Copies of this chain bind each other. A is one copy, B any other.
């Protein structure tokens, strides 16, 4: 299988993939934080919607504007504290077309404000369908229009591994063509993650180990010279430090997206378990704990932007401290 896998990997890319730029920026700001943007109907501040309505927007447009204003405020708060943001598409799809218009605008806005952007879409399908998704989020599409266009301007997407090569390689090929990247779910942060991911195989490995070995091989030919990072990253939760250490050993060349910090219960010392020994190769995501920090800081919801900044400053310190003790 190793041979056939290697032969299916795209050949060495000439254009640097986006993990190189992401690592460079993280080093520059000394903060491996990913700003999650999850505007659920509980998290999205109502006053943003009311503001838009007062300015004459229809209900649909006011929703779109509120979502964009929410993300804009969080991006301002994250200036110099996060190199990358991660809007979760579920919270936009739940609002229908206005939500998806906002999702599209937020990706653009993030780039204009100097952030890289992960579209947290967790896709994965048969080859032809994965190619359509890859075009949508990482590449370009034309249809019959006069010029090629980007549908959704992401630098990275998140992917489900269950269907294997057919679900990942079309994204990898598109990522290498356009200088982008992808993250494959390896060990997720949710309570029921272990049900399938920790199943023990007859050769002693767990399912997540096999996925990890595939991720390492899928990315083999795309490693960059400066940081040794491949174009295939991995999602490894902040809630499972022992497994994160094992995942790091099996995937020395993958950049890790580490969700589960904050609202999901992961603390800084656990969150850094998946970092490389040199303190590189990973980013810790927080979403709800940042957007809802005004509650913790005893501030009004109108001050959520300021509270989000305070929360990210604190998060950067905690993760920095934990990294200094990380071996």
Instruction: Show the binding face of A for B, using Cβ within 8 Å.
Output: 1, 38, 40-41, 44, 46, 49-50, 59-60, 62-63, 66, 88, 90-91, 93-97, 99-101, 104, 122-130, 132-133, 135-137, 141-146, 149, 151-152, 160-167, 185, 188-193, 195-197, 199-202, 207, 210-211, 214, 259, 264
How many angstroms between the C-alpha atoms of A104 and B95 in the bound complex?
Answer: 12
A19–chain B nearest beta-carbon distance, Å: 22
Sample 28 A-B pairs with CB under 8 A, ordered by A number.
A38-B129, A40-B132, A59-B145, A63-B143, A63-B145, A88-B132, A90-B123, A90-B129, A90-B136, A93-B136, A93-B137, A94-B133, A95-B143, A96-B104, A96-B141, A96-B149, A96-B152, A99-B151, A122-B124, A127-B190, A160-B160, A161-B196, A162-B197, A164-B193, A196-B210, A199-B201, A199-B207, A200-B201
* A59 partner residues in chain B, CB cutoff 8 A: 144-146
Query: Are A93 and B151 within 8 A (Cβ)?
Result: yes
Closest to A195 in B: B164
* A132 partner residues in chain B, CB cutoff 8 A: 40, 88, 90-91, 93-94
Copies per complex?
2
Query: Are B211 and A264 within 8 A (Cβ)?
Result: no
Given contacts A160-B160, A207-B207, whether A141 and B94 have CB atoms under 8 Å apart is yes
How many angstroms between the C-alpha atoms of A195 and B201 in the bound complex?
Answer: 13
A43–chain B nearest beta-carbon distance, Å: 10
Given contacts A124-B122, A163-B193, A189-B126, whether A142 and B41 have CB atoms under 8 Å apart is yes
A261–chain B nearest beta-carbon distance, Å: 13
Query: Are B142 and A163 within 8 A (Cβ)?
Result: no
Instruction: Give the residue of B41, B122, B129 whose beta carbon is less than 8 angstroms from that of A88.
Output: B129
* A142 partner residues in chain B, CB cutoff 8 A: 41
How many angstroms between the C-alpha atoms of A195 and B132 in the bound complex?
Answer: 22
How many angstroms between the C-alpha atoms of A190 and B124 in the bound complex?
Answer: 11
Closest 6 CB pairs of A and B: A164-B195, A96-B151, A165-B192, A90-B132, A164-B192, A93-B136
* A201 partner residues in chain B, CB cutoff 8 A: 199-202
Query: Are A199 and B210 within 8 A (Cβ)?
Result: yes
Closest to A96 in B: B151
Interface centre among A66, A99, A126 (most CB of B within 10 A): A126
Query: Are B104 and A49 within 8 A (Cβ)?
Result: no
Instruction: Give the residue of B144, B166, B202 whose beta carbon is less than 8 angstroms from that of A190.
Output: B166
Interface centre among A101, A124, A192 (most CB of B within 10 A): A192
A281–chain B nearest beta-carbon distance, Å: 23
* A192 partner residues in chain B, CB cutoff 8 A: 163-167
* A127 partner residues in chain B, CB cutoff 8 A: 190-191
A123–chain B nearest beta-carbon distance, Å: 7
A-B contacts besides A97-B101, A165-B192, 16 pairs, CB < 8 Å: A59-B144, A63-B143, A94-B135, A94-B136, A95-B141, A100-B100, A124-B160, A126-B190, A127-B190, A160-B160, A161-B196, A162-B162, A164-B196, A165-B195, A166-B193, A200-B201
Instruction: Give the residue of B1, B38, B96, B200 whose beta carbon is less than 8 angstroms from that of A202.
Output: B200
